[in-house]
């Protein structure tokens, strides 16, 4: 009944829909700026040294219906080496409580181990305590000693502009 | 006096030393399991589609002395697209207060903008309030709505083992 398969280019419209559905669940319905063209370019173009793929994706089907997805990419630990980061894990509401989320997570963990990755990491919204409890029941630990920071938009451009000046001076 | 340059394979022993010095600062002196061989393989091997490089690295020099480093790699946002993650940013204590950390951060920001990245992200220890204040002064925001989770070691193997069974059944 449950089938997990790697996404292909023809899944891009579905992936874009699932990203939007996850954003709605995360109370950020207007935050998705990515387009199908971006996803096609970033995840499914020819994989060479100049343009390595930015992510990989698994699709979960339930009785042949598209029910969820997991989207992940490599990260690196300078203590432990190559690892995987699970950017998105989502199961459509009508397909929940059948073990699809756990099956997707386990499949990504299997890929991590197969590739010799030391760690699998992801992020969860702090108010999503059912998810946090679920992840902890599977052996995940919260990295509560670390605060993630982000610079984006005008602040990034400003910081980068200063970087360029420094490079020119060097 | 300040020079920022891309690291090369011959910098691997230096990078390994700087990673260890950063781990000592982070109160985790025994956590670095990475070797020079790993770093050489993961960051400086031939860059092709099968084995894309796991990270890139900048070295900061002050008056010709190796003074610090920044190590980063691409990540992906399903809302915004390609982004950069700064895994390590470190300046040796004797070279602090000369603007090296800010110069390294600005240079990574410039690389992010040059590559069309929407975001530059990194993590900071929650007790390192001077660093958090410094980053906020540069326009960075703490992502305090997100809790990072990690599964590693036996828990990862266990989760992965279950994943393999499911794959075999599918």
Mean pLDDT per block of 10 residues along chain B (170 residues) reads 97 98 94 97 81 93 98 98 98 96 97 97 95 95 95 96 58
Asked if A146 and B125 touch (Cβ cutoff 8 Å), the reply is yes
Residue found under tokens 């181990």: A113
Of A2, A135, A160, the CB nearest to B112: A160
pLDDT reported for residue A168: 52
- For A3, nearest residue in chain B (alpha carbons): B170
Parallel, antiparallel or unpaired: strands A65-77 and A81-91 = antiparallel
pLDDT reported for residue B166: 53
Tell whether B45 lies on the interface with A, counting CB pairs under 8 A.
no
Q: What is the pLDDT of residues A86-107, one digit of tens each?
A: 999 999 999 999 999 999 999 9
Residue contact B147–A138, C-beta within 8 A: no
Query: How many residue contacts between A and B have a Cβ separation below 8 Å?
Result: 286
pLDDT reported for residue A80: 97
- For A121, nearest residue in chain B (alpha carbons): B150
The answer to whether residue A170 scores a pLDDT higher than 50 is: no
Whole-prediction pTM: 0.93
Burial of A85 (0-12, 13-18, 19+ CB in 10 A): buried
pLDDT band at A51 (very low <50, low <70, confident <90, very high): confident
- Own/partner contacts of B20-24, CB < 8 Å, gap of 24 or more, are B21/B90, B21/B92, B22/A78, B22/B88, B22/B90, B23/A79
What is the share, in percent, of chain A residues with pLDDT greater than 90? 89
Tell whether B9 lies on the interface with A, counting CB pairs under 8 A.
no
pLDDT reported for residue B52: 81
Residue found under tokens 């075999």: B168
Asked if A115 and A73 touch (Cβ cutoff 8 Å), the reply is no
Domains of chain A: 2-143 (3.40.630.30)
Of B75, B79, B159, the CB nearest to A85: B75
Q: Which residues of B are catalytic, by number?
A: 135
DSSP of A77-125: ETTTEEEEEEEEEEE-GGGTTSSHHHHHHHHHHHHHHHTT-SEEEEEEE
pLDDT reported for residue A46: 80
Tell whether B126 lies on the interface with A, counting CB pairs under 8 A.
yes
Average pLDDT, chain A: 93
Q: Which residues of B touch A42 (CB under 8 A)?
A: 76, 81-82
Contacts of B58 (CB under 8 A, 6+ apart): B4, B5, B6, B7, B69, B70, B71, B104, B107, B108
Q: What is the pLDDT of residues A113-147, one digit of tens each?
A: 999 999 999 999 999 999 999 999 999 999 999 99
pLDDT reported for residue B19: 98
Residue contact B107–A142, C-beta within 8 A: no
Residue contact A75–B71, C-beta within 8 A: no
CA A104, A105, A106, A110 dihedral sign is: positive
When scoring B70, B130, B134, B151 by the number of chain A Cβ atoms within 10 A, the one with the most, hence best to mutate, is: B151
């Amino acid at each position: 009944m449950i089938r997990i398969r790697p996404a292909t280019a023809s899944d891009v419209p579905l992936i874009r829909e699932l990203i939007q559905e996850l954003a709605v669940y995360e109370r950020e319905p207007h935050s998705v700026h990515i387009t199908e063209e971006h996803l096609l370019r970033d995840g499914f173009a020819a994989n060479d040294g100049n343009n390595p793929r930015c992510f990989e994706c698994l699709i979960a089907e339930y009785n042949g219906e598209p029910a969820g997805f997991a989207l992940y990419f490599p990260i690196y630990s300078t203590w432990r080496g190559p690892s995987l980061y699970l950017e998105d894990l989502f199961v459509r509401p009508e397909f929940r409580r059948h073990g699809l989320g756990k099956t997707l997570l386990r499949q990504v963990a299997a890929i991590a181990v197969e590739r010799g990755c030391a760690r699998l990491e992801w992020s969860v919204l702090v108010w999503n305590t059912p998810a946090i409890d679920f992840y902890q029941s599977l052996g995940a630990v919260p990295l509560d000693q670390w605060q993630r920071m982000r610079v984006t938009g005008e602040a990034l451009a400003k910081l980068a502009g200063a970087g360029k000046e420094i490079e020119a001076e060097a």
